[in-house]
Amino acid sequence: MTRRVVVTGIGMITPLGHTVEATWEGIKAGKSGVGPITLFDASHYLVKIAAEVKDFDPAQHVPHKEVRRRDRYQHLMMPAAREAVSQSGIEVTDANRRRVGCIIGSAVGGVGSYYEQANLLFETQDPRRITPFGIPMLMVNGGSDLVSIEYGTVGISATPISACATGADCIGMAFDMIRAGRLDVAFAGCADAPIIPIGVAAFDRVGAVSRMNETPHQASRPFDKHRTGLVFCEGAGVLVLEELEFARKRGAIILAELVGYGSTSDAFHVTAPHPEGLGASAAIELALEDARLTPQDIDYISAHGTATQLNDVTETKAVKRVFGDHAYRVPMSSTKSMTGHGMGATAAIEAIFSILAMRDQIAPPTINLNEPDPECDLDYVPNVAREMKIDCVMSNSFGFGGHNVSLIFKSFS
């Protein structure tokens, strides 16, 4: 008999709030978290805006001695993990710790610390100035090991990386491990802090980032004819996944059931998606097959929706390829219009939004969608959240390099 996997805890920190509920209130209200960059001096940059996590004090979430030893992305991971674990009520004990794992990723890891330490070395030419904690700060698996140490889990601790699909792959791989009987519980998610000079400049050179510096709240505009690119974001999202009977035996409150996971590669281009969305549509098909569902069973789609010229069109094509005429009847929106694009972390955050959409029976809006691109002709829930019946949600995440992931969540029954 196939082991069923349920969600018992969710946690996040985003530019809209430091908790799930604070962020979700902003999402439902159609609030933008985008503003001027303050994490570094961007006055001489062509891109001067991003979606930053404001008023964040890592000392409130990370052990004091670890604050200076860890990168910002690891700092952001901890409040998300603690919120998720606290809500789940799970206790890691000597009896169960080998059956609890951490599948927590990061698309870019400690790039901020790498940038700072490299600059220090270039400026001083003195290797003795480099911090002895440089390696833990740089490690892409730093978030996973930090959470594992915090809770004493000794099951598998792993850090998948698949660009902007990382958070979704982490959730999907944890899902597979629980179904296969390798784990009973997994802390799964992703954190990223990419708002650094080299990151902003490099993505701008690719032509992927919006330069709408004068009107930052309007800068992220997925599916709009006048979209100008993505907006950088930072944050973290974590889910606690459990095998159903394990969760029931301990009396856990079940938030949703994870029923489908599809992951593919375009094998096409290092940055551009396949022009017909073939890899994306394959991931969608695999997720539906895995869940034993049809397109007609999906009530709402949480879109990847980056507001880049290529992504929005190809995602639309992919959904239409799989859903056919039903694509026009399924609301699909992009919360990146409000949060910005947090690289791999956004995939985990949007998975949580999918669960909240079912809980509250509300489809989040795509804000700043005033004049749809003629090639983007689906129902993207423009500008205002919509109350509707939602019992089954697909969450799409697509990344540079052709990484495509679809997850499907259902209301638990």
Number of other CB atoms surrounding residue 175 within 10 Å: 24
Q: How far apart are CA 26 and CA 30, in angstroms?
A: 6
Asked if 211 and 229 count as a contact pair (C-beta separation under 8 A), the reply is: yes
Distances in whole angstroms, Cα of residue 56 to Cα of each of 14, 59, 93, 202, 235 = 10, 9, 31, 26, 11
Q: How far apart are CA 16 and CA 21, in angstroms?
A: 10
Nearest to 234 by CA among 355, 138, 115, 109: 109
Q: Which amino acid is at 66?
A: E
Q: How far apart are CA 194 and CA 112, in angstroms?
A: 7
Catalytic residues: 164, 304, 341
Number of other CB atoms surrounding residue 93 within 10 Å: 9
CA atoms within 13 A on the CB side of 204: 18
